[in-house]
Amino acid sequence: MALDHDPNETHVMVGMSGGVDSSVTAHILKQQGYEVTGMFMKNWEEDDTEEYCASATDLKDAAQVCERLDIDLHEVNFAHEYWEKVFEHFLAEYQAGRTPNPDILCNKEIKFKEFLLQAESLGAEYIATGHYVAKGFINKSPEHEALLLRGADTNKDQSYFLYTLQQHQLRKSLFPLGEIEKPAVRAIADEQGFVTHNKKDSTGICFIGERRFKDFLSTYLKPNPGNMVGVDGKTVAQHDGLMYYTLGQRQGLNIGGAGDAWYVAGKDINRNELLVVQGHDHPAMLTQIVTADGMDWVSSAAPKLGDVVTAKTRYRQQDHQCEIIEIDEQTLKVRFDQPQRAVTPGQALVFYNGRICLGGATIHSSV
């Protein structure tokens, strides 16, 4: 990773989650000569129970790693900020029939905003996280313009979730795992005797954890059951509430009968109907033109009208070539060379130029 500073006597605050990635991040930075301290962020406490609340265990694991590394560990509670800046938006999106990605907003508002501010208030010059991304620089830029790069581990690359990073945040962030693959990270943790070396990767909603999603969502939003309809307009089953389903979904539809499997292809909010089709690649599931809004560009290399770049509409997806056919300050429209499946409003459309993540926007609609 290219640096614009000398690690020696440089203070970096590591976001310690209690997982293996942040543990190895702290270790690598200390080995490189940085003055390292850790910070554990607690960002959810609304309905913590013995069944769901993993933060106590995560804090204990983070503390053990920091003790082994002989570094200080700070604790901070961002639950209020998370609720106001991430969770309320999360609920509003589901209420509107879209499928939001809270991890992206959490990174934007908490991990690279509130955390950075808190770290700087404690004297840190940089923050570091265990994200699988890398950072580079445009060498000819006197301002050391930073570039967000895909992680070397293509199976773990998390640039999709970090496309909202602004220049000052990216320049102040370090990503030691950007050029390392996950098996090697676990091997380092094992060699160092970290309690986290074989800890399962976290899944579920950012900071909220692994919960029965349907039960969790119904705690905050009132379900509104309705009809599942086919492309012919005929009712084929009942849905439990549009908020529980996402485009491309197969599981949990409970539609009987013969033929190909059923998939969610769309939502009609006004009629409270869920459009379902048979067949993985049904034409109703495919689209080539995508409209998005709320753009965030990482660097000055933002796409322009007519540019041909690559983009992807969900995390676990290969990016595909597309052309910018409309763009202004708030919205853009792209045409993919190949039809894209189950493009979902509320998810992110993220653009790339080779390894460089250019930025992205929130999907509004597709045709």
| Whether residue 34 is found in the same domain as residue 111 | yes
| Whether residue 272 is found in the same domain as residue 292 | no
| Whether residue 30 is found in the same domain as residue 53 | yes
DSSP 32-69: TT-EEEEEEEE---TT--TTT--HHHHHHHHHHHHHHH
With respect to residue 300, please indicate whether it lies within any of the assigned structural domains: yes
| Whether residue 70 is found in the same domain as residue 169 | yes
With respect to residue 324, please indicate whether it lies within any of the assigned structural domains: yes
Which domain CATH number covers 308? 2.40.30.10
| Whether residue 328 is found in the same domain as residue 240 | no
With respect to residue 274, please indicate whether it lies within any of the assigned structural domains: yes
With respect to residue 243, please indicate whether it lies within any of the assigned structural domains: yes
* Alpha-carbon gap, residue 339 to 277, rounded angstroms: 17
- Half-sphere CA count of 55, side-chain side, radius 13 A: 19
Give the residue from 263, 280, 297 where a domain finishes.
Answer: 280
The four Cα atoms 247, 248, 251, 256 give a dihedral, to 10 degrees, of 90
Give the residue from 134, 168, 191 where a domain finishes.
Answer: 191
| Whether residue 159 is found in the same domain as residue 249 | no
| Whether residue 347 is found in the same domain as residue 227 | no
| Whether residue 272 is found in the same domain as residue 295 | no
* Domain containing residue 254: 223-280
With respect to residue 143, please indicate whether it lies within any of the assigned structural domains: yes
With respect to residue 203, please indicate whether it lies within any of the assigned structural domains: no
- Half-sphere CA count of 182, side-chain side, radius 13 A: 14
The Cβ of residue 84 has, within 10 Å, a number of other Cβ atoms equal to 11
* Alpha-carbon gap, residue 249 to 258, rounded angstroms: 18
| Whether residue 41 is found in the same domain as residue 147 | yes
Beta strand 73-77 with 35-42: parallel, antiparallel or unpaired? parallel
Total domains, the chain: 3
Q: Which residues are catalytic?
A: 106, 206
pLDDT per residue rounded down to tens, the chain (367 residues)? 556 677 877 999 999 999 999 999 999 999 999 999 999 999 877 555 554 456 788 899 999 999 999 999 999 999 999 999 999 999 999 999 999 999 999 999 999 999 999 999 999 999 999 999 999 988 755 567 899 999 999 999 999 999 999 999 999 999 999 999 999 999 999 999 999 999 888 765 655 555 577 888 888 999 999 999 999 999 999 999 999 999 999 999 999 888 899 999 999 999 999 999 999 999 999 999 999 999 999 988 789 999 999 999 999 899 999 999 999 988 999 999 999 999 999 999 999 999 999 999 999 988 7
Using the 8-state DSSP alphabet, how is residue 140 labeled? T
